Amino acid sequence: MGMTLTEKILARHAGLDTVEPGQIINANVDLVLANELSAAVAIGVMRKIKGAQRVFDRSRIALVEDHFVPAKDAQSASLAKLMKDFAVEQQIEHFFDVGRGGIEHVVLPEEGLVAPGELIVGGDSHTCTYGALGAFATGMGSTDIAAAFVLGEVWLKVPASIKIVYDGEPGRMVYAKDIMLRTVGELGIDGATYRAIEYHGTTVDSLSITGRITMANMAIEAGAKNGIFQADEKTIAFVKERTDRPFIVERPDADAVYERVISIDVGSLEPQIACPHTPDNVHPISEIARDDIPVDQVFIGSCTNGYMEDLRIVAKILEGKRIAPSLRVIVNPGSQKVWMQAAQEGVLTTLAAAGCAVNTPGCGACFGGHMGTLGDGERAISTTNRNYVGRMGSPKAEIYLASPATCAASALTGKITDPRVLELAPV
């Protein structure tokens, strides 16, 4: 019996010929990730492990300051200092402070720290992002991260795999975010719990690396352990531009066994939107836009849609126009490199001229941290990945999730808007 893509990667890292769903394994890791929040607990746990004075490999740990940057208060500054001091003490090679990094899940791929066939664990649920490059990547609790710091290995259960096949050409103003929102709506927020989502089909083959990142990132929104794409020539070119270390490209076996196989016709999709208060409360934009729902804030950014490709889409829609006076638009580029490229291309100027506030790269408002927290009764439309009660601030606020194009269109009108309408009648 053949193995899925996830099973093949896990088997190799566990030193086994084969593995099967439900099997418990110890697996060697290629990279361990933490941010200032998850690292604080992990470092504390590591200090309590008898004999654990050094990390297993200072070149295979990445520490990224990204949640409360720049620090919003003394407490968040102390968390950042704790991780920075640990990085200096342990001589961690891949430490990214504010101004030199950005959002962890944007930084690691662009810095060449992720490659096909690797096993990556991180103290953040959206670590599954790296499956876009053909790696097995998953989020873990800080205690597991502490053990990985010391041992360079993790204990886990092999997940069953769900194969999703996407076919058809995306329609006008339909992007990877829309495709993944539809997927989460199809599966439900717990429909892939502790499963691997394996992405297939002609549609995903034609997606950009950024589009694949968006989709892998939101696998966790369906409860998945990981989301993973087969590495193709596009993937290999992306990785080789950023690193010269060797890696192994795995392929699922032709006779691999999947728990479920789901087909999604992308050609029939219109832009999608997730309504409060769960990411699976997904509807076609035409159903929601007709209700003329006003918004107080538009947020562009996050590890889901904070890439150069996303900012270009927004800038194209906003160029030469002004955002509606009834709202504010906050933009968080995903990394310092994205910020610099956007500045060089004039994208940041276009956004600022339209009335947007452009922040330092970081997670910021996405998790209700700072630089855009919502107040009581406020409503936001956002390119982020979660819209649970209280996610972006007040539990009395509402969050809608959509693509950068839908968010940009809504910024111009002051209400949730179908971006296809603006093409016919520019604001």
Average pLDDT in the 163-173 region? 96
- CA–CA dist 286, 270 (Å, integer): 8
Average pLDDT in the 98-123 region? 97
Q: Which residue has the tokens 């452009």?
A: 358
CB count within 10 Å of CB 291 equals: 8
State the pLDDT at residue 423: 63
Q: Are 369 and 363 in contact (CB under 8 A)?
A: yes
State the pLDDT at residue 366: 87
State the pLDDT at residue 1: 80
At residue 52, does pLDDT exceed 90? no
State the pLDDT at residue 370: 87
- CA–CA dist 365, 369 (Å, integer): 6
Q: Are 382 and 392 in contact (CB under 8 A)?
A: yes
Beta bridge partners, 227, equal 197
Q: What tens digit of pLDDT does each residue of 313-366 get?
A: 999 999 999 999 999 999 999 999 999 999 999 999 999 999 999 999 999 888
State the pLDDT at residue 367: 87
- CA–CA dist 404, 419 (Å, integer): 10
CB count within 10 Å of CB 24 equals: 10
Q: What tens digit of pLDDT does each residue of 176-219 get?
A: 999 999 999 999 999 999 999 999 999 999 999 999 999 999 99
The residues near 240 (Cβ < 8 Å, ≥ 6 apart) are none
C-alpha count within 13 angstroms, C-beta hemisphere, residue 54: 7
State the pLDDT at residue 351: 97
Enter the DSSP assignment of 242.
T
Q: In a 3-state reduction of DSSP, which class is residue 270?
A: coil
- CA–CA dist 389, 16 (Å, integer): 43
State the pLDDT at residue 364: 87
Element (H, E) at 216: helix 209-217
- CA–CA dist 133, 118 (Å, integer): 9
Helical residues (DSSP H) of 223-335, grouped into ranges: 233-240, 285-289, 302-305, 308-318
Average pLDDT in the 144-149 region? 96
- The pair of structure tokens assigned to 69 is 């940057």
- CA–CA dist 306, 210 (Å, integer): 10
Backbone angles phi, psi at 103, to 5 degrees: -75, 130
**Angle CA 364–192–273, to nearest 5:** 50
Q: What tens digit of pLDDT does each residue of 280-322 get?
A: 999 999 999 999 999 999 999 999 999 999 999 999 999 999 9
State the pLDDT at residue 426: 47
Q: Report how far apart the first and last C-alpha atoms of the chain are (Å, whole number).
A: 57
More confident residue, 236 or 368: 236
Q: What is the mean pLDDT of the chain?
A: 95
Q: In a 3-state reduction of DSSP, which class is residue 5?
A: helix
pTM of the complete model beyond 0.85: yes
Which long-range contacts link 388-393 to residues 24+ away (Cβ below 8 Å)? 388/277, 388/278, 389/276, 389/277, 391/367, 392/299, 392/365, 392/366, 392/367, 392/368, 393/365, 393/368
Average pLDDT in the 23-37 region? 97
- CA–CA dist 371, 364 (Å, integer): 5
At residue 416, does pLDDT exceed 70? yes
Which long-range contacts link 48-57 to residues 24+ away (Cβ below 8 Å)? 49/146, 49/147, 49/150, 52/149, 52/150, 54/90, 55/90, 55/92, 55/149, 55/150, 56/148, 56/149, 56/150, 56/151, 56/152, 57/152
Q: Are 406 and 417 in contact (CB under 8 A)?
A: yes
State the pLDDT at residue 95: 97
C-alpha count within 13 angstroms, C-beta hemisphere, residue 221: 28
For the chain, domains (ranges, CATH) are 5-264 (3.30.499.10), 274-422 (3.30.499.10)
Phi/psi region, residue 376 (left: phi>0; alpha: psi -120 to 50; beta: rest), is: beta
**Angle CA 250–255–259, to nearest 5:** 90
**Angle CA 58–64–67, to nearest 5:** 155
At residue 427, does pLDDT exceed 80? no
At residue 27, does pLDDT exceed 90? yes
At residue 274, does pLDDT exceed 90? yes
- CA–CA dist 412, 324 (Å, integer): 5
- The pair of structure tokens assigned to 103 is 């959002």
Share of the chain above pLDDT 90, in %: 93
Q: What tens digit of pLDDT does each residue of 401-415 get?
A: 999 999 999 999 999
